[in-house]
Amino acid sequence: MLLFLAAGMASAQTSEEHINLDTPTGRIAGTLQLPAALEGKPRVALIIAGSGPTDRDGNNPLIPGRNDSLRMLAVALAEEGIATLRYDKRGVAASLPAGPTESELRFENYVEDAAAWVARLKADPRFGPVAVIGHSEGSLIGMLAAQQAGAAAFVSIAGIADGPSAVLRKQLAGKLPPELDKESERILASLEKGTTVDQVPPALLTLYRPSVQPYMISWFKYVPSERIAALTMPVLIVQGNTDIQVAVAQANALYRAKPDATLAIIPGMNHIFKHVRADPALQAAAYSDPSLPVSPLLVKAVGDFLKKVD
């Protein structure tokens, strides 16, 4: 099913509750966003942030200012009667102490944490069906965790379909001198086979430093289009058409892999859920502007989908 959306949101107060997930390596911090009145057992969704040090509210310390995208989405869904839990991934923000050293981190750590949060929500008597919402890199984490923990539904927002190594190749194409390009391909091919590389040219150390290679090997194993095809729960794929980080083609590829999913293309929405034209200067400013609201069309797409989940 393909949706092109238009229209409205309700308005109501919501409340926040801070909770923690204890793990063998430390405590992971989360925030429950609750509807004003918990009538019956509301549906609840785990929200998984994207890559790097992006925190539970959608903010990245490497980018000046705030955009508060994930927090705004959580509040908007609570106003629609849907509870959410968002959290700082291990090694990020308030969950920094739970992070292992870079050489010990594996992609599966993020998946296991998300699955543990789902189990925590499923065991909470206040809530009904538990869904997973994954944004950007969090989409792949969410696919794996939703399957592992038996979530009732899965939502991908701005998720990629291609494997991580394929995406990296595209990003590097034409940007390296011939010799470095050859070296990069040698290293990538080795990591794809599960083998670390000792000899890395100094110019490529930032990307392929030895301490990050085990994580890359663990991450490269998963191709999102293959993983979403294996899901048996209801799936919603959402993509904004002014997203300059992830193209609509990626959402279409996910949909081709999972044709019984619902695909929602949000006109004018960028990577952080804001209505911004595909102008680089406007896009950059949006990442540091918390006054911009999240797209009501996104809230409607996700809210309508989750309300149908049993």
What average pLDDT is seen over the chain? 94
Q: Which of 201, 241, 197 is CA-nearest to residue 216? A: 197
DSSP character for 295? P
What pLDDT was estimated at residue 280?
Answer: 94
Indicate if the pLDDT at residue 9 is higher than 70: no
Per-residue pLDDT tens over the stretch 17-52: 999 999 999 999 999 999 988 778 999 999 999 998
The per-residue pLDDT for 5 is 42
> Quick one: which H or E segment has residue 190?
helix 178-192
Is it the case that residue 160 has pLDDT exceeding 80?
Answer: yes
Residue holding tokens 């040090």? Answer: 53
Q: Which residue segments constitute the domains of the chain, with CATH numbers given? A: 15-163+223-307 (3.40.50.1820), 167-214 (no CATH)
Average pLDDT over residues 130-145: 98
pLDDT 10s digits, 247-262: 999 999 999 999 999 9
Confidence of residue 8 (pLDDT cuts 50, 70, 90): very low
How is 273-295 classified by DSSP, letter by letter? SBB--S-HHHHHHHTT-TTSPBP
Q: 147 is written with which tokens?
A: 């399957």
pLDDT score of 108: 97
At 12, the pLDDT band (50, 70, 90 cuts) reads low
pLDDT of residue 68: 98
Query: How much of the chain exceeds pLDDT 70, in percent?
Result: 96
- Residue 22 phi, psi (nearest 5): -85, 130
The tokens of 128 are what?
């009904």
Mean pLDDT of 188-210: 97
pTM, two decimals, is 0.94
Residue 303 has pLDDT above 80, yes or no: yes
pLDDT value at 103 more than 90? yes
Per 3-state DSSP, the chain is made up of helix, strand and coil in percentages (nearest 5) of 40, 20, 40
Token pair listed for 92: 């990020």
**Mean of the pLDDT values across residues 198-227?**
97
Higher pLDDT, 1 or 30: 30
